[in-house]
Structure 1
Amino acid sequence: MNRASLTPWLALSMLAFSGCSGKPLVPKIADADPQALPADLRTKFEVIEVGQPTPSPTPSPTPEPKGKGRHKKKKAPPVAKHSKKAPFVVPNRRPKSDPFWVGEKQTLEVTYLGLAAGNFSMEVLPSKKIAERNVYHFKGIVKSSALLDVFYRLDDMIESFWDYEGLYSHRFHMVLDETKQARDVLELYDPEKKKAFYWNRRNQPDKAPVETKEYFDMVPFAQDSFTAVYYLRTLPLEVGKTYVYPVVSEGKGWDCVVNVVRKEMMDTPLGKKMTIVVHPQTRYNGVMKQEKGEGTIWVTDDDRRFIVRLEAKVKIGAVAAQLKEIELGEKPADEPAPSASPAP
């Protein structure tokens, strides 16, 4: 499967790479030094805890005391006329009802060829701030089972920071700790400049470590490969309709095309629930990719849109994930104050 398409419904296929490696585990990648980021990105994309004090404003210079003597007023120099740049405006795409409650945690049991392969969990953590904007904090964990560890061990983490009003990604972080590789990927998205920063560090057995740092073009207000499924949960998902939205991942941009095919009653940890069945696909440069790994998602037909089941085809067979545990989280008492408007 193409790692560039590592959306949550495909992430579970990470648990299906069970080819016997017989090789020792690669060493973990050391934590990245934030100072290694360009200074402007380090400041702009710093994650701030809500309630954490912001830096005090720089005081204005103390005005000089007015003299007793009379002074002639100097004429101000003429102001050069410049064409005004259109202000950068973030769209407000919030759904009528917020489906993402702090403390929400969905744990899905993953099976491959009928065997327990591991667990895939998705969690909503307390909100943060980035660039003075309120953001959701989403975290996903993929862990292989003891049975799969014999063949291929996985302990992977995905983390995203998602704009509260605009519903687009600011920051994406992925750490892979696996038998055949260790990776640390950081992506930072600037919709105003239409640029993204990509930092990838990778260790593999019998190969020299690889590090990549680069900028790439992106469409504004796009999803990353993790928030793509959270954005899906905000859509109306009417049967027979197709929804398309941009995704950026691994230095590339592509479209997520979601076809809503039917409704289906399913057993869930919350009892019997009507679900909406969708088929997500990827479209790159206008061409639909019929790759193995694309699959099916079942989400509850209610305001929360919980993920009940995932299925994906892989190189050999198919992998599935079924919701086994769910924590609803805490219903928001009220919504946070609007984010600060960016300066024009």
Structure 2
Amino acid sequence: MKIGLRLLSLVLLVLLAAGPSPAATSGTVTARDRCPAAAAPDARLLRTAYGGGESLHYVVSWMGVKAGELLMEVVRQEEADETFQIRVTVKSAGLLAVLYPVEDHFTTTVSGSSRLPRRHEMLQKEGRRQNTRVTLYDQERGRITYTKNNDPPQIFAVDGPVHNEFSSFLFLRVMAFAGDVSTVVPTFADKKRHPVAVSLEGRPTLATLFGQRHTLAVKPHLTFKGLYQKVGDPLIWLTDDPARIPVKIKARIVIGYLTAELVEYRGPSGSFTAAAR
């Protein structure tokens, strides 16, 4: 369960990655067989699904038992054009909060039409441990600077613009999914740039916070090592409308699976709170 708690943010903050890819080949092939095309934001969705002023509250359960809560806020920075902060808080809940309290805070500053990260700060409080980590993204020079607590900074070189786990999750909302052709987004994780294809798995109708809604079920195909090996490919359900709100996320872990369900929303689409169960 401790591993599950450490992965709460990974369930929601979907790990996407990419690099330049050739066009798909001709013939009858599946989404996995095709060479993914590099993703670009849909200009209309940037206005309707990534304009800021949102608060999304998720309840995370493990095998049907409440394990934690996740709050995500998307805040437009008025002093800078096309700049936003993604603020995320992950907390353990129920008996788990007594046995192993977790309260992690993440802040990512993104900018531009591709909403690329510029700075990421993380404050981890897990049990009796507390860690602070800061990552700076020099997108123009291809340099990532990572500092943990008072340790000397580590510098990594990348061969193109990159997202992190947080910015890539929100970028998922502004991607145009065409048929069974996968697309990718460049993401820095495990000290390097990774190509991970994202595919549209279906368009099911789900019971959501907003009632019965048509959704887009999308799946990133994870390739990262280390901690990420403990997470199966997540499945994310977005409302199939201009708001593209993530209403549910599900991922397999070492034992069982974690599910994050949207229970409260505040933003351009209105204010909604799930009925108490």
Q: Please classify the TM superposition score into its range, dividing by the shorter chain length.
A: 0.7 to 0.9
8 Å Cα contact 1:169-1:221 kept in structure 2: no
1:173 correspondence with 2:121: yes
8 Å Cα contact 1:161-1:169 kept in structure 2: yes
Any residues of structure 2 matched to 1:116-131 within 5 Å, and which? 116-127=66-77
Q: What displacement does 1:298 show?
A: 0.6
Distance 2:89 2:107 in 1: 9
Which residue does 1:115 correspond to in 2?
65
Distance 1:151 1:277 in 2: 34
Distance 1:11 1:102 in 2: 17
CA 1:6–1:170: 2 relative to 1, 3 Å? farther
Q: Alpha carbon RMSD of aligned pairs, Å?
A: 2.9
Distance 2:135 2:86 in 1: 15
Q: Which moved more, 1:313-322 or 1:212-221?
A: 212-221
Distance 1:101 1:133 in 2: 12
1:185 correspondence with 2:124: no
1:135 to 65, 83, 96: 83
Which residue does 1:252 correspond to in 2?
192
8 Å Cα contact 1:9-1:297 kept in structure 2: no
Which residue does 1:234 correspond to in 2?
174
Which residue does 1:164 correspond to in 2?
112
Distance 1:216 1:170 in 2: 15
Long gaps (5+) in structure 1: 13-91, 202-209, 332-344
8 Å Cα contact 1:219-1:246 kept in structure 2: no
Instruction: State the Cα deviation string for residues 133-156 of structure 1 (Å, max 9, x = none).
Output: 641111111111132112221111
1:307 correspondence with 2:255: no
Distance 1:238 1:171 in 2: 32
Any residues of structure 2 matched to 1:184-333 within 5 Å, and which? 184-201=132-149, 211-249=151-189, 251-283=191-223, 292-329=231-268
Q: Hey, which of these two has a bigger chunk of helix by percent?
A: 2
8 Å Cα contact 1:94-1:165 kept in structure 2: no
CA 1:93–1:249: 2 relative to 1, 3 Å? same
Which residue does 1:84 correspond to in 2?
none
**Aligned AA (2:188):** V
Q: What displacement does 1:330 show?
A: 7.9
8 Å Cα contact 1:142-1:155 kept in structure 2: yes
Q: What displacement does 1:6 show?
A: 8.5
**Aligned AA (1:168):** L
Which residue does 2:23 correspond to in 1?
none
CA 1:135–1:240: 2 relative to 1, 3 Å? same
Instruction: State the Cα deviation string for residues 311-337 of structure 1 (Å, max 9, x = none).
Output: 111121111111111112489xxxxxx
1:152 correspondence with 2:100: yes
Any residues of structure 2 matched to 1:74-113 within 5 Å, and which? 93=41, 95-97=43-45, 98=47, 99-113=49-63
Q: Which has the larger radius of gyration?
A: 1
Question: Secondary structure of the residue that 1:229 maps to in structure 2?
Answer: helix
| Matched pairs, number | 239
Instruction: State the Cα deviation string for residues 56-97 of structure 1 (Å, max 9, x = none).
Output: xxxxxxxxxxxxxxxxxxxxxxxxxxxxxxxxxxxx956224
Distance 2:208 2:114 in 1: 31
Distance 2:188 2:6 in 1: 9
Long gaps (5+) in structure 2: 15-39, 271-277
Instruction: State the Cα deviation string for residues 198-224 of structure 1 (Å, max 9, x = none).
Output: 1112xxxxxxxx724111012332111
Percent of matched pairs sharing the same residue: 23
**Aligned AA (2:203):** K
TM-score (norm 1): 0.62
Which residue does 1:9 correspond to in 2?
11
Question: Secondary structure of the residue that 1:283 maps to in structure 2?
Answer: coil
**Aligned AA (1:185):** R
CA 1:236–1:160: 2 relative to 1, 3 Å? same
Distance 1:4 1:199 in 2: 20
CA 1:183–1:293: 2 relative to 1, 3 Å? farther
Instruction: State the Cα deviation string for residues 19-77 of structure 1 (Å, max 9, x = none).
Output: xxxxxxxxxxxxxxxxxxxxxxxxxxxxxxxxxxxxxxxxxxxxxxxxxxxxxxxxxxx
Q: What displacement does 1:296 show?
A: 0.8
